[in-house]
Structure 1
């Protein structure tokens, strides 16, 4: 037994070292500094702590240090997660949350500034606007760093926040696509969706593929794999590329009473009303209809309505491919489960935003500080991390996509699928509103969305038109925003508002957090990346 384990580890090590040889050779070819003098490269991340730093080193810096022995890396976190990790929540004594952007600025402009900074998409835009980053285009041209293999949508998204210039590069990204169940379309005699469809086409397909009654009902569409939460969030997801605003940039006035909101609300509420999208009542009925012996027994696919074959189409990110593959590989262990025969196409588009898709996540955007003390090694690090050699080494990841097209591939254990659907559309431009700042300064602002679900339900039940329901939401939301001027935390201290509480947090939150949570589960066997 011990011998087999040793041989397995030795084989994995041999594979890793074999892949590192060309990587080291490629690095040595471009080596400009042959000195043995030790140099320090400081890398700044948004969050530090005992968990975050080891993960970041294993994922991004261990191989660099191995191939660049003269460079010592220091990892600096703008905010230390350890400080708040074990704090007990006290609604009567809420500590003011640190301003992430201000902490980033301190890290970039202080007495000992970092050389490289790793940020998310929202911060990148502000850092560029405040002239805190070095433009990479001259360095790319100088070193003839080849970007022809980069996914165009990745570069386009980064250029969007840099006045058509590059101020960052990222080795990986994630994105969403429309997953569909081939069998449900075949059973309904309906043609499957294709790339480049607009929302009216998808809505039509969803209606045509919906069949059956009661517990045997097959639904045409769900905006996520776990339906039944909150209809107004589905409206926001439907209209995400249109960038409809719930309130103004200062969080002082509701902006929901518009024709754009009315159109979106009408479409999604119609799908709920006609039982094309499953709602909370459908979820409850499904749970109640479990046969006696199965009631209360955990089934790993039940709550995922696409995976369990109840929904014909759903929107999810690239990491879902791995879950579908795992379920298929373990189908024999799941009672009454038939693996889904699936594929993907591009997310539906709106005519007003043709060519733009939803939810592209740039998880590790790497930039050079405009005041870097060691800009040469900073650029060497970014080149290395975004090199084709390292992309090849990291290409086994099934949770994110490589930014280089040559190394994007489908899961080896899955049937080939239309992987280009994840990166064929342009990303949504970043919002002009700094939502992080609003939620930090006005934690109770989510309460202004409460009446949104009431408005949605009124339209579904036929009690009000979309315009009437939105006018009511506008009035109630403005009352909440006015109360927040006196008490930003909201709640009882902000006065009693006749609005029902939401089941979840505000739909204004982005899906970047979920991508990061998914990313934290990633582990590979032959390189330095291990699970966080």
Structure 2
């Protein structure tokens, strides 16, 4: 949870310096200049997570400018899950405290005796909120106020409409897209045609094999699932598999489903890249250590050091590339000649990208007591003026197409960030209930991590590892069926699958990406 909180704070903090720049610009937008208490009203805005201690960051990001330009409106921020309450939960390592269900917590502040007017939430909840008629459809109001959906990036609108049965129930001013970054110089040197938009995973992996050459410190790797880490990283595989929505266990959490041809094929595909040294191993990072004793801020980032031909990175990765190129002479490093194309997709989930995050969707509660101000707020933070401000962000991209441009002084295929639909990692109500009532089910993913580590270490074949994962997972599911919150001594006392592994928590019924 601290990871989620930290990431949100990082994004919110960048708005603070921009606040003073926008206030004069929007001062003329003020709709009500009276301080008469009789004319004042409160707009209640719900958030998925928060606390009084970090509320100021949220206000800087979303509400301060709106309050300044709308004198008659007071903003009240209502977190669905309060960090202050969670940090004092009893986690003694023996008995797991039930984790709050984000959907249920959001529904509680939307349907209680004093419901919020606006809800700001992650894309993963959109389908459920629409399905339970908790969000007001926005298409009519957008038409009346001449807000054209075509002015927003297709990535954003297509994803929203798909979860809304063809309609728009929320809008977001920014999003965090990802793309496939590639080293233009390496492709030119190898005389290999570089990647292009619209490639599937098989095509990218075939390119990666062509680009893998050399040995030891001179080895160039064709691909890496992320800018950090080697091929032993199970979570990179989880992100890779996410759009396929492969289930680890059935909807009743009673039977494992990993011992199947599809799971076997996917694990073999990734392990084949590792075995053939197409993707780097953890040991390869030793060659990125500086030999002169000087600190290298890009140490261990093999793409930035010219040793990986292609990697997946989000929009903020451009900032690191820019920092490298601006300081290459000081660091005595070679500047990176690069570009981007769309994220590869699975043919079974065409044009769907797993690494696209819509985390700031704003929708109007169907039970809103102040629906007029709610629409005014949603409209305001999705306006052209707001998008102009957000276009300065180094971390997120504005949703409005007019402000989606390559950064000043840089040239790259910026459209690659906007073409694919975001993958919806929404869970079924049953999966959410299982995660909440059986918190120890997270150890299924730890077993999966152990199983994959046993494969890459050569201790088990893919078939053997998945079979062992099935057996050990079924044992755990049966234990959770009779004692969902009991101590996990038996689990910790067992040797890991294959006798090796350092799994970590996470996961769920359906394989889901490990991102914010």
Q: Deviations over 1:46-102 (max 9, x none)?
A: 122134311111111111112211111111112221234477853136443333222
Deviation at 1:127, TM superposition (A): 1.8
More moved, 354-363 vs 242-251: 242-251
Q: Does structure 2 retain, via aligned residues, the 8 Å contact 1:179–1:343?
A: yes
Q: Does structure 1 retain, via aligned residues, the 8 Å contact 2:81–2:105?
A: yes
**Structure-to-structure mapping, 1:220-299, within 5 angstroms:** 220-228=222-230, 230-283=232-285, 285-286=286-287, 291=291, 293-294=292-293, 298-299=295-296
TM-aligned CA distance change 1:309 to 1:231, over 3 Å = same
TM-aligned CA distance change 1:444 to 1:338, over 3 Å = farther
Separation of aligned partners in 2, 1:94 and 1:468: 31
Instruction: Name the counterpart of 2:413.
Output: 418
Instruction: Name the counterpart of 1:55.
Output: 57
TM-aligned CA distance change 1:261 to 1:65, over 3 Å = same
Specify the SS of the correspondent of 2:74. Answer: strand
1:130 to 126, 132, 135: 132
Unaligned runs of 5+ in 1: 1-10, 514-532
Instruction: Name the counterpart of 1:520.
Output: none
**Structure-to-structure mapping, 1:157-176, within 5 angstroms:** 157-176=159-178
Instruction: Name the counterpart of 1:482.
Output: 478
**Structure-to-structure mapping, 1:328-343, within 5 angstroms:** 328-334=325-331, 336-343=332-339
Instruction: Name the counterpart of 2:469.
Output: 473
More moved, 176-185 vs 321-330: 321-330
1:325 to 319, 322, 326: 322
Separation of aligned partners in 2, 1:270 and 1:234: 15
Deviation at 1:332, TM superposition (A): 3.9
Q: Does structure 2 retain, via aligned residues, the 8 Å contact 1:182–1:342?
A: yes
1:305 to 302, 305, 309: 302
Deviation at 1:368, TM superposition (A): 0.9
TM superposition score normalised by structure 1: 0.84
Instruction: Name the counterpart of 1:347.
Output: 343
1:363 to 359, 381, 386: 359
Separation of aligned partners in 1, 2:359 and 2:480: 33
Separation of aligned partners in 2, 1:77 and 1:271: 43
Separation of aligned partners in 1, 2:230 and 2:195: 24
Instruction: Name the counterpart of 1:427.
Output: 422
Q: Does structure 1 retain, via aligned residues, the 8 Å contact 2:445–2:506?
A: yes
Separation of aligned partners in 1, 2:138 and 2:108: 22
Q: Does structure 2 retain, via aligned residues, the 8 Å contact 1:410–1:417?
A: yes
Q: Does structure 1 retain, via aligned residues, the 8 Å contact 2:127–2:164?
A: yes
Instruction: Name the counterpart of 1:521.
Output: none
Separation of aligned partners in 1, 2:143 and 2:22: 32
Deviation at 1:316, TM superposition (A): 1.4
Instruction: Name the counterpart of 1:91.
Output: 93
Deviation at 1:479, TM superposition (A): 1.8
Deviation at 1:233, TM superposition (A): 3.0
Separation of aligned partners in 1, 2:267 and 2:20: 57
Separation of aligned partners in 2, 1:171 and 1:55: 17
TM-aligned CA distance change 1:438 to 1:512, over 3 Å = farther
Deviation at 1:453, TM superposition (A): 4.3
Separation of aligned partners in 2, 1:123 and 1:160: 13
Q: Does structure 2 retain, via aligned residues, the 8 Å contact 1:487–1:494?
A: no
**Pair 1:448-2:444 in alignment:** yes
Specify the SS of the correspondent of 1:73. Answer: strand
Deviation at 1:221, TM superposition (A): 0.7
TM-aligned CA distance change 1:277 to 1:37, over 3 Å = same
Instruction: Name the counterpart of 1:403.
Output: 399
TM-aligned CA distance change 1:164 to 1:20, over 3 Å = same
TM-aligned CA distance change 1:364 to 1:213, over 3 Å = same
TM-aligned CA distance change 1:259 to 1:13, over 3 Å = closer
Separation of aligned partners in 2, 1:309 and 1:383: 44
Instruction: Name the counterpart of 1:107.
Output: 109
